[in-house]
Structure 1
Amino acid sequence: MRDAIAAEWLKFRTLRSNLYLLTSALIAVGLSAGVAFLVTRGFDAQQGADLRRFDSLGDGLGAGLPLAHLVTGALGALSITTEYGTGHISTSLTAVPARRTFLLAKIPVLVAVTLVAGQVLVFGMYAATTAVLGARAGTVLLNGETLGASLSEPGVLAGLLITGASMPLVALIGLGLGTAIRSTAGTLVTLIVLLLILPFAAQTLPRPLGDRIGAHLVGALPGQIAADGLLTPLAAGALLAAYPVAAMAAAAVAIALRG
């Protein structure tokens, strides 16, 4: 297993698309800063009680998190679909004949890289939002929340850490889907539907149906682990873990049957 993991690390760091994906994830930080900038323009144009009618940006992850999740999911997908696409899967399975061992060897590399990248992205998005809001962040709104969350507020730091830790789980979803689908394009489309389109579609549904559906989707679960939402922290954590477990179970079956 150790040699298989070392081989996966070599493949991961020599695949240029991985570097490009990790770099593109920084766009998520820019998105968070951009949304905060637009809010500050509207905020500065208002006066008096109108300032309190703004919606809170919270920890500032709302705009950038779906993109960050998509990038980490794509990293997981490409770690296997590129091998199918280039035909190198035959060579890899010759070197590691135990197919499930070959699949499992990809997990430590993905988890290590995306855990670090995830924490950097999450705290980068938070820092960017906080920097753009400046002193406005402490404005108390009508719902009792502040325009921007502070790390000193209960649950904010825990929420950021949990969200960063969710990135490896999304990478495993990508790995599982990529192994089952075996197509880069098909897997990326599936990830886009799961991480971007479904959350958007849920927002367009009437309440409370849309809120209930949205609460069960991947991007909404980390925040509910840190603080009660429509789901309890225990239920949200179990569901967040269930997504990659289901994807990897499908991958294990697929690679055993088809290679």
Structure 2
Amino acid sequence: MRAALSSEWLKLRSVTSTFHAIGAAALMLALGLVWTFYAGELADERESIGTAAPEQGLLPLVQMSLAVIGVLAITSEHTTGTIRASLTAVPRRGALLLAKAGVVGAVTFVAAHTIILITYGVCRLIAGDRQLGFNEISFSHDLPMLLTSGLSVTVLALVGLGLGFVTRSTAGAIVSVVSLLFVLPAAATYLPPSWNTRVAAYMLPNLVPQIADQQLSRRVGDGLLFPWVALTVLLGYAVAALTIGFFMLRRRDA
């Protein structure tokens, strides 16, 4: 297993697409600075404003950028034909999947939290004592949301990896991830009111605030989830995608 992990780590860090994806995710910092400067100018004119935190408003950028790492970790091998070499080096297909998941998970976990925390710190530093809404809350209060946001990025990357095993297509896997992150939550808004909130609570974008316990209400009657339930659902997305990917990998030839 150690050899499989080393091999996957070497493959991931030797392709430029990994660094391109991380670079795209790091745009959060640049866009967060623009966001904060603009909000600061408005606050100077109006004394105070209320705006969303940059690391939350720009989180989908990081999620999609790093999800591509998970997708390409397997689909690029199908495109180039190197999947046969991988299966020869690691005959146990379950071990191959676990090695890829371990490396993708570790890389995206570190990258996501680094980008999010740096964006958080720099934007608060620039905001200073101006009343922008998002900088009036303590770090200890924001920390659960920051950690959960980073975890959601890792989960989405693992979902992308699992869907890559299923589709064996970069475009197909990315479209599937986009559907989970944007299309399905939007479609849920068209459900009858009695179902809307309950279904939306299980959608990927809505799990982060529920885990961080920052919803206005957590009453089960409102259709919202308790933090431990939301965390289980979030991790369940990754487990489900990787499990389906494993069964598809076993049933197919390379």
Question: Partner residue of 1:16?
Answer: 16
After TM superposition, the structure 1 = structure 2 runs for residues 164-179 of structure 1, keeping only pairs within 5 Å, are 164-179=150-165
Q: Which whole-Å deviations, capped at 9, do the CAs of 1:68-94 have from their partners, x for residues lacking one?
A: 111221111110000011111111112
For residue 203 of structure 1, report the CA deviation from its aligned partner: 7.2
- In structure 2, the CA distance between the partners of 1:203 and 1:250, relative to structure 1 (3 Å rule), is same
Contact 1:96/1:102, CA 8 A, preserved across alignment: yes
* Counterpart contact for 1:75–1:171, Cα < 8 Å: yes
Q: What corresponds to 2:146 in structure 1?
A: 160
Amino acid at match of 2:79: G
Identity of matched residues, %: 35
Provide the residue aligned with 2:121 in structure 1. Answer: 127
Deviations 1:123-166 (A, max 9, x none): 122124323422124x6xxxxxx442433453x11221222233
1:55 paired residue among 50, 54, 63: 50
Contact 1:64 1:125 in 2 (8 A): no
Q: CA RMSD in A?
A: 2.6
CA distance in 2, matches of 1:33, 1:194: 28
Instruction: Say if 1:28 and 1:63, in contact at 8 Å, map to a contact too.
Output: no
- Asked if 1 retains the 8 angstrom alpha-carbon contact of 2:39 and 2:51, the reply is no
Q: How does 1:1-259 map to 2 (within 5 A)?
A: 1-46=1-46, 51=48, 54-57=49-52, 59-137=53-131, 146-152=133-139, 154=141, 156-199=142-185, 213-229=199-215, 230-259=224-253
Q: How many residues align?
A: 245
Paired with 2:206 and 2:32, the residues of 1 have a C-alpha distance of 17
* 1:95 positional shift: 1.7
TM-score (norm 2): 0.85
Cα deviation digits, residues 172-218 of structure 1 (max 9, x gap): 11100111011011111222222244456667999897665544322
**Greater Cα shift, 194-203 or 96-105:** 194-203
CA distance, structure 2, for counterparts of residue 83 and residue 66 of structure 1: 26
How far, CA to CA, are the matches of 1:176 and 1:243 in structure 2? 10
Residue identity matched to 1:55: G
Give me the TM-score of the superposition, normalised by structure 1. 0.83
Amino acid at match of 2:158: L
Distance in 2, matches of 1:7 and 1:185, equals: 25
**Secondary structure of residue in 2 paired with 1:9:** helix
Deviates more, 1:37-46 or 1:165-174: 37-46
Residues 201 and 121 of structure 1: CA distance in aligned 2, closer, same or farther (over 3 Å): farther
In 2: Cα distance, 1:205 partner to 1:60 partner: 30
* One-letter code aligned to 1:103: L
Residue segments in structure 1 that go unaligned for 5+ positions in a row: 140-145
Change (3 A) 1:23 1:203: farther
Q: Residues 136 and 147 of structure 1 are in contact (CA less than 8 Å); yes or no, is this contact kept in structure 2?
A: no
Which structure 2 segments of 5+ residues have no match?
216-223
Q: Is the 8 A contact 1:29 1:64 kept in 2?
A: no
Q: Displacement of 1:8 after TM fit? A: 0.7
* Residues 22-66 of structure 1: per-residue CA shift (max 9 Å, x gap): 11111122233333333333333325xxx4xx4342x43222100
CA distance in 2, matches of 1:147, 1:16: 35
**Structure 1 counterpart SS, 2:128:** helix
Distance 1:36 1:192 in 2: 27
**Equivalents in 2 of 1:103, 1:86: separation in Å?**
18
